[in-house]
Amino acid sequence: MSISKAAESLIAKAKEGKDLNRQEIIQLLYLPGKYSPELFVAADNVRKDQVGDEIFLRGIIEFSNHCQRNCLYCGLRKGNSRISRYRMTEDEILAITEEIKKSSIPTVVLQSGEDSYYTADVICHLIERIRKETNLIITLSIGERSLTDYKSFQQAGADRYLLKHETADKNIYQYMRPGCKWEDRLQCLRWLKELGFETGTGNMVGVPGQTLESLADDLLVMKYLNADMLGIGPFIAHPDTPLAGIDNDDMDITLRVIAAARLITRNTNIPATTALATLHPQGRLLALQAGANVVMPDFTPEIYKNRYDIYPGRKDVGSAQDIINKLEIDFRTIGRFINYSAGYRQTKYH
């Protein structure tokens, strides 16, 4: 199905970087047809122009699957008694950061559930050791903490922080995250940004009750926060959670949100998420051709990896180096290549 003149001129407007209002963003997401080549091509062009053909890698370590929260969608939720819990020690984490360094990836993402076992002091000590022993750039993804904690993480040497807003629909957010407040999430994100962290946010696409209007609001939140990194992934139902059985096989809409995010936020870093790779064998490459420019290989040791069971069927088994070699071959098929530098958000490519 070809698109109308109105849709064509809307895409052209987005491609030029003109501000889009909520109605226009909704229209972008409503484009007819299963795949929307015009939207993806425009996003791919903007990606090339703004951040180049290079793909940046971040090595991720999922160091604890304990979580105090009880999010309805997530396998790590406190109420899931079927999961076998683990915590990595500082030495174990350090050993993996050495591996990341050996594979020439300059940045590590330390991710966990919301686990207060790792107090601010414990996290700061870890950051200091990683900085001293490997000099890796450190991204934290450990949930909501106090302003004081965020400040101390930064003083200890962390540069980046990921905290997805998950959904801009306040009612869905508070339903899916019992005891959590949407405003608190936004407050944390504002603090992180004000402190000068490269800040990542993002959403899940396909959660129950979500509309295209609310996805447009997600994009407006990303823009409003001036987030530097955007993690956009499909919701995948986990059998041991209250949202079990609510299937989401629609990858197209996730790709559209990625494409719209690239058009709207221009020079941000957008990962092709593991969740997309899990939903579809070509999910990662399709995302990289719809605006994404980052991939995050999982360095979590094999003994723990399967237990970081946020959603079922997570791909990427095998050693991280095998995964990177395979990625490199895949990237070449779409004319892209790995860049082993830090990959800060760029003001302009070149």
Give the interface with ligand SF4 as residue ranges (CB under 6 A): 67, 69, 71, 74, 76-77, 113-114, 143
- Interior angle at CA 254, CA 248 and CA 257, nearest 5: 145
Check if the beta carbon of residue 337 is closer than 8 Å to that of residue 191: no
What x/- string results for residues 272 through 291 when contact with ligand 5AD is judged by CB under 6 A?
Answer: ---x----------------
Report the nearest approach of ligand 5AD to the CB of residue 272 (Å). 14
Quick one: which segment of 228-236, 251-259, 261-269, 298-306 binds ligand 5AD (CB under 6 A)?
228-236
Of 73 and 182, CB closest to ligand 5AD: 73
Q: Is 193 helix (H, G, I), strand (E, B) or coil?
A: helix
Chosen from ligand 5AD, ligand SF4, none, partner binding at 236 (C-beta under 5 to 8 Å by type)? ligand 5AD
| Residue among 233 and 291 whose Cβ is closer to ligand 5AD | 233
Whole-number minimum distance, CB 229 to ligand SF4, in Å?
A: 17
- Among 24, 35, 41, 45, CA closest to 2: 35
**Spatial distance between the Cα atoms of 254 and 251, rounded to a whole number of angstroms:** 5
Residue 47, interface with ligand 5AD (CB under 6 A)?
no
Q: If binding is defined by CB under 6 A, does position 238 make contact with ligand 5AD?
A: yes
Least Å distance, CB 64 to ligand SF4, is 10
Which residue number, 70 or 293, has a Cβ lying nearer to ligand SF4?
70
If we measure between CA atoms, which residue out of 321, 229, 311, 322 comes closest to residue 277? 311
Q: Does position 166 bind ligand 5AD by CB under 6 A?
A: yes
Contact (Cβ atoms closer than 8 angstroms) between residue 216 and residue 224: no
Residues 6+ away with beta carbon under 8 Å from 128: 156, 157
Distance CA 39, CA 11 (A): 7
Helix orientation angle between 147-156 and 182-195, rounded to the nearest 10 degrees: 30
Token couple for 111: 């991710």
Which region among 31-39, 234-242, 328-336, 339-347 touches ligand 5AD (by CB under 6 A)?
234-242
Which positions from 305 through 344 interact with ligand 5AD, judged by CB under 6 A? 310-311
Nearer Cβ to ligand SF4 (113/231)? 113
Q: Provide the 3-class DSSP secondary structure of residue 204.
A: strand
3-state secondary structure 70-92: CCCCCCCCCCCCCCCCCECCHHH
Residue 233 binding ligand 5AD, by CB under 6 A: yes
The least CB distance from residue 16 to ligand SF4, in Å, is 37
Contact residue for ligand 5AD among 47, 160, 164, 185 (CB under 6 A): 164
Position among 123, 236, 272, 327 found at the interface with ligand 5AD (CB under 6 A): 236
Name the residue with tokens 């936004």. 186
Quote the least distance from Cβ 113 to ligand SF4, whole Å: 4
Sign of CA dihedral 87, 79, 140, 156: negative
| Choice from 61, 140, 204, 255 touching ligand 5AD (CB under 6 A) | 204
**Is-contact 61 108, C-beta < 8 A?**
yes
Q: In Å, what is the CA distance from 272 to each residue of 136, 186, 234, 293, 337?
A: 22, 24, 11, 7, 14
Instruction: List residues binding ligand 5AD (CB under 6 A).
Output: 73-74, 164, 166, 204, 233, 235-236, 238, 275, 310-311
